[in-house]
């Protein structure tokens, strides 16, 4: 090229002296600079020192497609587009097709400082411009997918590396479960749920990956869902696409979870147990195969089984599932997950029961948690990731988890978890607090279990009379039944320990709704067991009755070492009975 400048080797008296200059042997990105003596062609000093820019001049002017069958990534510029590597600008105007080897690995597609595309098994932010990350597994179908990494030139390589390893991808907005696309059931709900009630839709999600902001279109109700599980023999993760629900099952309609004790295999969920499933957002490339991995679902690695099949035990198991912490590798071990570019969105808790026959998974959704935070990345190298993908910067917020503990009941979450291990005990009752099914409170030295979720009235007994609580006596026992004849029936009983003595107060009430007749007793006894010989001595009894209840009876007796409260109704009369026993032995 010839210009009207003096020769590059000519000396000129002043920078303002613009005689003819002949410029020869120009290379890409060189500029004409005055060195104090003459005009010369060279790379600017600032570019040499910084090795910048690095990245795509206009990332929006490229499309990226991946074919796992041929192992090829195709980068197509809209027109003539530019990529910078260490301050050198490279022009591309035709599609670039690059193939990786046919072996299970994570591949990093880079442009090097010679202007050549190639795959590496790690990133090199200082010397190469990253274009895509391919996750590939020869044993899977589809065998892999590509993540979009067309970073721009306004971020330097050192900042890129730091953000990639420390912050990673995070959610900017959206990403929650769409209301109406799922139904949450309480532990005692008798509904037989359909498939539609367990398949949540995910709202449009905006995720941030360093300088890239990607909008993930909404996932519709019914998916299809892509489910990841850990292969403990790896450790690595494998996946199943085109699932009808965000979970996996065996061939006999039994859902499965992913415990470490299961090795590479999945384990069937125990009947009436709870498991967790996590939803993550991924900024993937443009091709149809990669779009299957826009939202991935991580199968939980624990199950929570009630020790008894009752409401309190089910509630306790549900609350342990809701307390499962994805930031704790003991709850969710993600060692070996193939990339840092994942964003945690939500957790769903499901309950399995063979009675739920209206959907093939025999599941119902029992809880949902929105998971938010600016840190959701793997720490360390992507080829040797740390144990957990989610660090302590992630916060967990319960949303619409019916039956879960309201934060205003108890603010110490560790104490809450410990108390729930003992049937949901939350301490002393308080007016104005929110209570959930299964909570247990202490009032007047007695324990009461919550039957109906509610906000407490000014008086506990207002809620008790409304049927929101049932008595679970401490230092005694309780009983409730209905009779329709004159058969002597035990309404409450307990074994008297050997070599103890205690006082006992028994309160019994009976009511016949058809006539309004009723009767009540208060009886006080001295009980003792001396070397296996038990006696019950009554020292007071008070009773009050309507005329129609004269034939009804309540007594306390001893059978071996068992104290029994026995009641007698009346033939052809339907009578409701209640008994509460308080004793001084603990």
For 276-297, the pLDDT digits (tens) are 999 999 989 888 999 999 999 9
Peptide bond into 208 cis (omega under 30): no
Residue matched to tokens 């499962």:
324
- Cα–Cα dist 249/243, whole Å: 10
In this predicted structure, the answer to whether residue 333 has a pLDDT above a threshold of 90 is no
- Cα–Cα dist 261/225, whole Å: 25
> What is the per-residue pLDDT across 381-394, written as a single tens digit (0 to 9) for each?
222 222 222 222 33
Q: Which residues contact 128 (CB under 8 A, 6 or more apart)?
A: 85, 110, 111, 112, 113, 120
Average pLDDT, the chain: 79
Compute the average pLDDT of residues 147-176: 76
In this predicted structure, the answer to whether residue 397 has a pLDDT above a threshold of 50 is no
- CATH number of the domain at 479-583, please? 2.60.40
Residue 387, pLDDT score? 24
pLDDT band at 235 (very low <50, low <70, confident <90, very high): low
The helix or strand, by DSSP H or E, that contains position 50, with its residue range, turns out to be: helix 45-50
Q: Is the pTM of this model over 0.85?
A: no
- C-alpha closest to that of 61 among 74, 49, 73, 79: 79
| Residue 177 DSSP label | B
Tokens of 166: 């420390």
CA distances from 38 to 16, 26, 360 (A): 12, 16, 81
- Lowest model confidence (mean pLDDT) among 91-105, 225-239, 301-315: 301-315
pLDDT band at 234 (very low <50, low <70, confident <90, very high): confident
CA distances from 296 to 1, 8, 48, 245, 342 (A): 55, 59, 42, 12, 9
- Lowest model confidence (mean pLDDT) among 63-67, 176-180, 309-313: 309-313
317 CB burial (10 A radius; 0-12, 13-18, 19+): buried
Residue matched to tokens 């905006």:
206
pLDDT band at 251 (very low <50, low <70, confident <90, very high): confident
Domain extents for the chain? 1-42, 55-163, 169-398, 413-472, 479-583
Residue 401, pLDDT score? 33
Tokens of 88: 């050198």
Residue 40, pLDDT score? 64
Residue 461, pLDDT score? 80
- Lowest model confidence (mean pLDDT) among 24-33, 111-120, 133-142, 381-390: 381-390
Residue 343, pLDDT score? 82
In this predicted structure, the answer to whether residue 176 has a pLDDT above a threshold of 80 is yes
> What is the per-residue pLDDT across 430-439, written as a single tens digit (0 to 9) for each?
787 777 777 7
In this predicted structure, the answer to whether residue 43 has a pLDDT above a threshold of 80 is no
- Cα–Cα dist 454/460, whole Å: 12
**Total count of residues recorded for the chain:** 586
- Cα–Cα dist 106/142, whole Å: 15
Tokens of 425: 């005990």
Q: Are 198 and 364 in contact (CB under 8 A)?
A: yes
Residue 153, pLDDT score? 85
Between 252 and 550, the more confident residue is 550
> What is the per-residue pLDDT across 462-479, written as a single tens digit (0 to 9) for each?
898 888 888 775 555 677
- Cα–Cα dist 361/254, whole Å: 6
- Cα–Cα dist 145/39, whole Å: 51
Tokens of 429: 């009752």
Residue matched to tokens 């902001």:
213
CA 435 and chain centroid, separation: 23
- Cα–Cα dist 201/219, whole Å: 5
Q: Sign of the CA dihedral 402, 407, 408, 413?
A: positive
> What is the per-residue pLDDT across 48-76, written as a single tens digit (0 to 9) for each?
556 678 889 898 899 999 999 999 999 99
Compute the average pLDDT of residues 339-352: 85
- C-alpha closest to that of 277 among 218, 199, 346, 222: 346
Compute the average pLDDT of residues 246-250: 93
> What is the per-residue pLDDT across 208-222, written as a single tens digit (0 to 9) for each?
877 788 889 999 999
CA distances from 528 to 32, 501, 504, 586 (A): 108, 4, 10, 14
179 CB burial (10 A radius; 0-12, 13-18, 19+): exposed
Q: Which residues contact 465 (CB under 8 A, 6 or more apart)?
A: none
Compute the average pLDDT of residues 73-96: 92
Q: Which residues contact 224 (CB under 8 A, 6 or more apart)?
A: 241, 242, 243, 244, 292
CA distances from 556 to 497, 520, 538, 543, 544 (A): 17, 14, 9, 14, 17
The helix or strand, by DSSP H or E, that contains position 227, with its residue range, turns out to be: strand 225-231
To the question of domain 413-472 being in CATH 2.10.10.20, the answer is yes
pLDDT band at 167 (very low <50, low <70, confident <90, very high): low
Compute the average pLDDT of residues 559-566: 92
Domains 413-472 and 479-583 share a fold: no
pLDDT band at 39 (very low <50, low <70, confident <90, very high): low
Q: Are 123 and 382 in contact (CB under 8 A)?
A: yes
Compute φ and ψ for 209, nearest 5 degrees: -125, 95
Between 532 and 325, the more confident residue is 532
> What is the per-residue pLDDT across 463-521, written as a single tens digit (0 to 9) for each?
988 888 887 755 556 778 899 999 999 998 888 888 888 888 999 999 999 999 999 99
pLDDT band at 263 (very low <50, low <70, confident <90, very high): confident
- C-alpha closest to that of 504 among 540, 462, 480: 540
Residue 279, pLDDT score? 92
Q: What is the dihedral of CA 356, 357, 358, 360, to 10 degrees?
A: 100
Residue 161, pLDDT score? 66
Q: Are 336 and 236 in contact (CB under 8 A)?
A: yes
- C-alpha closest to that of 420 among 503, 314, 526, 261: 314
Radius of gyration of the chain from its Cα atoms, rounded to whole angstroms: 36
In this predicted structure, the answer to whether residue 400 has a pLDDT above a threshold of 60 is no
Q: What is the dihedral of CA 410, 413, 414, 416, to 10 degrees?
A: 40
Looking at the chain, the whole-number percentage of residues with pLDDT higher than 70 is 76
Q: What angle do CA 451, 396, 383 make, to 5 degrees?
A: 140
Looking at the chain, the whole-number percentage of residues with pLDDT higher than 90 is 39
Compute the average pLDDT of residues 330-350: 83
């Amino acid at each position: 090229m010839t210009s009207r400048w003096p020769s590059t080797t000519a000396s000129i008296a002043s920078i303002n002296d613009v005689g003819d200059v002949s410029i020869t042997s120009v290379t890409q990105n060189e500029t004409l600079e005055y060195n104090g003596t003459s005009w010369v062609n060279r790379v600017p000093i600032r570019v040499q020192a910084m090795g910048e820019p690095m990245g795509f001049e206009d990332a929006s002017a490229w499309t990226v497609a991946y074919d796992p069958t041929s192992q090829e990534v195709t980068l197509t510029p809209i027109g003539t587009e530019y990529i910078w590597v260490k301050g050198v600008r490279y022009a591309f105007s035709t599609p670039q097709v690059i193939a990786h080897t046919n072996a299970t690995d994570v591949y990093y597609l880079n442009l090097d400082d010679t202007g050549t595309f190639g795959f590496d098994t790690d990133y090199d932010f200082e010397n190469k411009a990253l274009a895509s990350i391919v996750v590939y597994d020869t044993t899977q179908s589809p065998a892999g997918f590509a993540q979009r990494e067309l970073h721009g030139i306004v971020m330097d390589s050192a900042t890129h590396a730091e953000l990639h390893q420390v912050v990673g991808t995070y959610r900017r907005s959206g990403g929650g479960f769409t209301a109406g696309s799922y139904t949450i059931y309480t532990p005692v709900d008798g509904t037989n749920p359909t498939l539609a009630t367990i398949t949540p839709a995910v709202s449009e999600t905006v995720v941030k990956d360093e300088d890239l902001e990607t909008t993930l279109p909404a996932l519709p109700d019914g998916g299809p869902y892509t489910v990841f599980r850990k292969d403990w023999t790896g450790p690595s993760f494998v996946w199943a696409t085109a699932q009808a629900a965000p979970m996996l099952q065996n061939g006999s309609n039994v859902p499965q979870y992913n415990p470490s004790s299961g090795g590479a295999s999945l384990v069937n969920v125990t009947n009436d147990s709870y498991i967790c499933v996590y939803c993550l957002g991924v900024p993937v490339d443009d091709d149809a195969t990669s779009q299957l991995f826009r939202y991935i679902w991580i199968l939980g690695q624990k199950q929570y089984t009630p020790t008894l099949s009752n409401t309190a035990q089910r509630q306790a198991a549900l609350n342990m599932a809701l307390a499962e912490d994805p930031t704790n590798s003991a709850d969710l071990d993600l060692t070996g997950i193939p990339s840092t570019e994942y964003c945690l969105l939500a957790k769903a808790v499901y309950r399995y029961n063979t009675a739920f026959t209206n959907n093939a998974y025999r599941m119902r959704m029992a809880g949902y948690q929105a998971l938010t935070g600016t840190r959701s990345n793997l720490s360390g190298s992507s080829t040797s990731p740390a144990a957990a993908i989610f660090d302590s910067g992630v916060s967990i917020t319960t949303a619409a988890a019916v039956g879960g503990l309201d934060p205003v009941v108890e603010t110490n979450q560790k104490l809450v978890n410990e108390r729930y291990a003992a049937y949901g005990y939350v301490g002393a009752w308080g007016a104005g607090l929110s209570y959930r099914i299964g909570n247990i409170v202490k009032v007047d030295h007695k324990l009461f279990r919550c039957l109906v979720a509610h906000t407490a009235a000014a008086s506990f007994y207002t809620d008790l009379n409304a049927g929101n609580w049932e008595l679970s006596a401490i230092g005694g026992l309780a009983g409730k039944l209905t009779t329709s004849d004159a058969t002597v029936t035990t309404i409450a009983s307990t074994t008297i320990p050997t070599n103890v003595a205690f006082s006992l107060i028994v309160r019994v009430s009976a009511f016949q709704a058809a006539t309004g007749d009723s009767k009540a007793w208060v009886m006080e006894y001295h009980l003792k067991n001396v070397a296996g010989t038990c006696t019950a001595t009554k020292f007071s009894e008070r009773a009050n009755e309507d005329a129609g209840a004269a034939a009804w009876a309540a007594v306390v007796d001893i059978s071996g070492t068992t104290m029994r409260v026995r009641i007698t109704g009346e033939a052809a009369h339907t009578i409701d009975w209640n008994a509460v026993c308080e004793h001084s032995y603990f």
